[in-house]
Amino acid sequence: TRTIKLAVIPGDGIGPEVIEQANRVIDAVTAGGDVTIERTEFLLGADRFLATGETLPEIEQAAIASHDAILFGAVGGVPGDERLRSANIERGLLLKLRFDFEHYANVRPCVLYPGVESKLADPGVVDFVVVREGTEGPYVGNGGRLRPGTPAEVATEVSVNTAFGVERVVRYAFETAMARPRKKLTWVHKTNVLVHAGATWQRVVEAVGAEYPEIAVDYMHVDAATIHMVQNPAQFDVLVTDNLFGDILTDLAGAIGGGIGLAASGNINPDGAYPSMFEPVHGSAPDIAGQQLADPTAAILSAGLMLDHLGLAGEAERLRAAVRADRASNGAAPRSTSAVGDAIIAQIPPRG
Amino acid sequence: TRTIKLAVIPGDGIGPEVIEQANRVIDAVTAGGDVTIERTEFLLGADRFLATGETLPEIEQAAIASHDAILFGAVGGVPGDERLRSANIERGLLLKLRFDFEHYANVRPCVLYPGVESKLADPGVVDFVVVREGTEGPYVGNGGRLRPGTPAEVATEVSVNTAFGVERVVRYAFETAMARPRKKLTWVHKTNVLVHAGATWQRVVEAVGAEYPEIAVDYMHVDAATIHMVQNPAQFDVLVTDNLFGDILTDLAGAIGGGIGLAASGNINPDGAYPSMFEPVHGSAPDIAGQQLADPTAAILSAGLMLDHLGLAGEAERLRAAVRADRASNGAAPRSTSAVGDAIIAQIPPRG
Ligand SMILES: CC(C)[C@H](C(=O)O)[C@@H](O)C(=O)O
Ligand SMILES: CC(C)[C@H](C(=O)O)[C@@H](O)C(=O)O
């Protein structure tokens, strides 16, 4: 029997509640197979920072690195909490893990399941995946503030885009498209304004694309892409874009595909040098934390992406079948966090 | 009688068709008043570039500057036209005018008119305005490409944000909110990731906000803002954000508020040192150009914003009343460009 070492970071707010259900579903779907899950929990996030002043101690990061995968809830304290102003848990913990562990392919599927109500009047068949670059672009944190607090203040943010970084994520996106029946890739940028980064992206997409003649490639400006996503989301198969555009488009995709309560993501290090990290797209939602009000489905579907990544395709398929069946029978009726977990577990199809 | 000197830049693709109708409506709605419109047409855009190699000659820019306002159609050639690769009409013409003429308040209302079908299943009452910064942020064009065309290529884009630039647009947004009944301002950024620019924006919004105690201020990350716009657009009154986030959010707003065929915008220089410029949010749509297929309503509503800006509030109100009446009776039935112009002109209420 194979042992999988899983690092669990439940985080803040609704993170622990949704991760609890994801863990239950992982156990249920792997039961009876030849896999043992060995978990280590890491208590990191805003609560930890408030208690100890620590964000991500080196020794804990090294311990996390020695695991096979990371299951991540959500981090972030109550908005406006002055004690967190200086902390930036997002940069110091979540983005630090993504950058240090070379999670260059941030994979975010958008599927509208039967029985799920969309906010769109006529969404059609929605089934696409956004491959968001995860390690560069405007997220690098380069830049600074000159003369802060004065009328002459100037703040800069430097987006850094390398052929190295763009090529590896673009290649991953082409491979993703190859594995899907429609074989279509839409790359999104703002080449008419961000001419420097846009030129690098365009050159790399064209060069890598030449190796994949089976894939139909098209391009959209990011602003136009939001219109297309609202007017005709069914047209998309695989999208690839930079870190910031991907952040924005995947929240929009979540809203269109049955709500952010269903949006799963994987921060993938395809090389396998570091553990990949799986997390719901939603945040910590401190306003509803601890009340069993959060929908754990996004966390559960993220666990499904993790099972895929770990080579447990059968388990991942059974997990998704259970989610589909649960949605088809229960729709969007309000249920407690644990009730959703119970219902999904009850729908897991038998092995074989 | 007052003479208004209007610079008209019809541009490419559907630009000339929609501007023709906007001009007809301007004439109809100002007829019988004490205003004379004196027009100068400037043939600029991709077609001009292809014919003469020129984008925006200095002498023409100076001539445009001597007008009271600019009515702008749309610019941009056929996507993928290799002859335009080096041109960048967007940066060299549209953005150059916005930057050189200090159009720091890019005002984009989003109103869902009765009779207009939204792509959202249940939009509610949509009536908000986005005030987009127009002269800095990631649009400054700073940055470059190192080792282009090699595996070691690095491209940077530098977003520049000044207290000077942020304050003037934030103040304009507060004033906009003061003039509306709901007195609400939502500022949008990505402060948890873009910490330098985010800090400048936050400091300025808090400082200026202290002068406007009547205004309720809230903050959203740009990714979350897309979700809110899909889930509950009725919550918004006035939004203020940077150049790039504003670009993305206003296309999304257009898609939600009855389609981009209705989305109007004003590039405002509130100081009046330079002429302000009014343009539909949509592009040049070369695929449908010259066929009378484009909806001129966005251009007509942009002309309405221009009349407001020129102090012709009564005329602007009558123009909007005509658009509202036209939509209420004709909805989204396909009509030719000139038929929409005719119908709107027929609906203009009498003076008085
Ligand atoms: C919390 C934040 C730093 C993060 C991001 O911007 O990437 C989140 O919005 C996401 O999409 O995972
Ligand atoms: C054409 C392009 C440069 C422009 C922009 O990005 O501002 C357009 O998208 C807009 O919103 O007016």
Q: Where are the domains of chain B?
A: 1-104+263-352, 118-257
The rounded percent of chain B whose pLDDT value lies above 70 is 100
Q: Tens digits of per-residue pLDDT, B37-59?
A: 999 999 999 999 999 999 999 99
CA of A261 to the centre of ligand 2 (A): 32
The closest alpha carbon to A161, from B149, B155, B153, belongs to B155
Give me the DSSP letters along B320-336: HHHHHHHHHHHTT----
Q: Which residue has the tokens 């112009």?
A: B341
| Strands B184-189, B238-241: pairing kind | parallel
Mean pLDDT (whole number) for B78-98: 88
- How many other CB atoms are found less than 10 A from the CB of residue A66? 10
Closest protein CA for atom 2 of ligand 1: A90
pLDDT (tens digit per residue) in B154-209: 999 999 999 999 999 999 999 999 999 999 999 999 999 999 999 999 999 999 99
Give A 234-263 residues with CB within 8 A of chain B: 244, 247-248, 250-252, 254-256, 259-260
What pLDDT is stored for residue B94 in this prediction? 96
Average pLDDT over residues B243-254: 97
Which of A124-133, B76-85, B93-102, B226-235 has the least mean pLDDT? B76-85
Say whether domain B118-257 belongs to CATH 3.30.420.40. no
DSSP conformational letter for B111: E
Q: Report strand pairing: B35-41 vs B2-11.
A: parallel
- Residues A226, B248: C-beta atoms closer than 8 Å: yes
Among B158, B209, B318, B216, which residue's Cα sits nearest to residue A144?
Answer: B158
Can you give the pLDDT at residue A53? 94
Predicted pLDDT at A149: 96
Two tokens at B316?
């602007």
Q: Which residues of B are catalytic?
A: 139, 190, 223, 247, 251
> Across residues B248-277, what is the average pLDDT?
94
Over residues B212-237, the mean pLDDT reads: 97
Nearest ligand to the CA atom of A283: 1
Mapping DSSP to helix (H, G, I), strand (E, B) and coil, where does residue B209 land?
helix
Q: Is the CB of B178 inside 8 Å of chain A's CB atoms?
A: no
Residues of A recognised as catalytic: 139, 190, 223, 247, 251
B116 versus B267: the higher-pLDDT residue is B267
Phi/psi at A213 (5° precision): -65, -20
Calpha distance A283→A18 (Å, rounded): 11
Give the pLDDT score at B259: 82
Residue A280 identity (one-letter amino acid) = P
- Ligand 2 and B94: CB distance under 6 A: yes
Measured CA to CA, the distance from residue B306 to residue B70 in angstroms comes to 8
* A281: DSSP letter: S
Ligand 1, residue A250: give the atom nearest the CA: 11
Cα dihedral A136→A137→A140→A145 (10° resolution): 170
Q: Tell me, what amino acid is at A173?
A: A
The pLDDT of A290-316, averaged and rounded, is 97
Which atom of ligand 1 is found nearest the CA of A98?
A: 7
CA distances from B12 to A192, A280, B17, B74 (A): 16, 44, 9, 6
Yes or no: is domain B1-104+263-352 CATH 3.40.718.10? yes
Q: Residue A318 Cα, ligand 1 centroid: separation in angstroms?
A: 28
Predicted confidence (pLDDT) per residue in A258-295, tens digit? 788 899 999 999 999 999 999 999 999 999 999 999 99
pTM score of the predicted model: 0.97
What is the pLDDT at residue B44?
Answer: 98
The CATH architecture to which A118-127+157-257 belongs is 3-Layer(aba) Sandwich (3.40)
Name which residue sits closest to atom 12 of ligand 1, judged by CA: A281
Q: B282-305 pLDDT, tens per residue?
A: 999 999 999 999 999 999 999 999
Cβ neighbourhood burial of A1 (10 Å; 0-12, 13-18, 19+): exposed
| Second-level CATH architecture of A1-108+261-352 | 3-Layer(aba) Sandwich (3.40)
A197 vs B139: CA distance, rounded Å:
12
Whose CA is closest to atom 7 on ligand 2? B247
| Domains A1-108+261-352 and A118-127+157-257 in one fold | no
| Ligand 2 touching residue B242 (CB < 6 A) | no
